Structure 1
Amino acid sequence: MNFPSHVNVPAETREEIIDLLNTLLADAIDLHWQIKQAHWNIRGTHFYSRHLLFDDLAKHARKQADDFAERAGTLGGYAEGTIRLAAKNSELPEYDLKAVESEDHLRALVDRMARYAASIRNGIQRCDELNEPITVDLLTQVLGDVELDLWFLESHLNGTGRPVARKGGREDARGEPSRTPHA
């Protein structure tokens, strides 16, 4: 911790949560710029609508980064939010620079967004174990927004108009009736 804080959370717990928030901050900054990479370079089918969607998603990631940084500061931490620190500390994989077509960008962003959501969910579980409800609440709200954004992205990939077969469903991956009996 770098700053005084009178938040009623034990110092060692605050330190762990600050580290967790700084990792999520790095992921959010990295995700923001990966989404902007897709925004600037998308081509192909549905260019305009996806270009605008990516811009909205980037704004969301930027807001989430701000939320993580401010919570770290509230706990007495130092927000590690420079581009260089984000690149060093992000747990997201590097963006696929070969992505050009809309579908390529969508798949890359769905992957990054799903990983980001999983990290936030893990953060919720850890903060709950540490009995820190305010950070749990923040992360829960952010996760809801991220999963909604993920749904918007996935909806562009699943544009067939048919539901995807669920495990134990009666259709195969092409939407055809299954020939195998179900228990």
Structure 2
Amino acid sequence: MKFPSHINLPREAREELVELLNTCLATAIDLHWQVKQAHWNIRGRDFISRHELFDTVADHVRKHADDFAERAGNLGGYAQGTIRLAAKNSELEEYDLSAVNGDDHVRVLVDRVANYASVVRAGIQRCDEADDPVTTDLLTRILGEVEQDLWFLESHLYGSDATARDESSPPIIHEERTPGPSA
């Protein structure tokens, strides 16, 4: 631990939580810039609504990054939030630069936001195991916002030829990801 903290959690639990929060921080920073990549390069049908939606999602994720970093600091940790560290420690794949039209960008973002939600959801379980209701609450609040953003993004694909699914197809389930190394 880099800094003193009198939060009533064992040092080992705080260290594990800081590691988790830094993984979430890296993933949020990466997602923010991936969403901005789509925002800057969106073209085609529904341009303005998607352009504005992407900006809203990017703003949400930027705020999440700040929340992750500040909670890591609360626990006595050091927030690792540079662009280079984010690229190295993110749980996301690189943005698909072949995405050109609006549906392509939305599909890429649906995938990335769903993966981000999985990282946050797995983090909630780890916080519960560490008996840290404050970080659990933080991640739960963030997950609610992420899932709403995911719904807004997915709704842009509903009825589109780009979905390649009909209503009788089973839902796409993203594998739950555990952020960072587990204890």
Q: State the TM bucket, normalised to the shorter chain.
A: 0.7 to 0.9
Aligned match of 2:7:
7
Q: State yes or no: 1:97 paired with 2:93.
A: no
Q: In 1, Cα distance between the equivalents of 2:159 and 2:73? A: 42
Q: In 1, Cα distance between the equivalents of 2:8 and 2:169? A: 46
Q: How does 1:134-153 map to 2 (within 5 A)?
A: 134-153=134-153
TM superposition outliers: structure 1 runs of 4+ over 3 Å: none
Q: Select the structure of larger CA radius of gyration.
A: 1
CA displacement 1:2-46 (0-9 Å, x = unmatched) = 000010010000000000000000000000000000000011110
Q: In 1, Cα distance between the equivalents of 2:58 and 2:159? A: 22
What's the CA shift for 1:165?
3.2
Q: In 1, Cα distance between the equivalents of 2:72 and 2:167? A: 40
Percent of aligned pairs with the same residue?
69
Aligned match of 1:164:
167
TM-score, normalised to structure 1's length? 0.88
TM-score, normalised to structure 2's length? 0.88
Count of residue pairs the alignment pairs up: 165
Q: How does 1:1-183 map to 2 (within 5 A)?
A: 1-159=1-159, 164-165=167-168
What's the CA shift for 1:166?
6.5
Unaligned runs of 5+ in 2: 161-165, 171-183
Unaligned runs of 5+ in 1: 168-183
Q: Could you tell me which amino acid in structure 1 is paired with residue 72 of structure 2?
A: A
**Greater relative CO (CA pairs within 8 A, separation 6+):** 2
What's the CA shift for 1:130?
1.2
Q: Could you tell me which amino acid in structure 1 is paired with residue 95 of structure 2?
A: Y
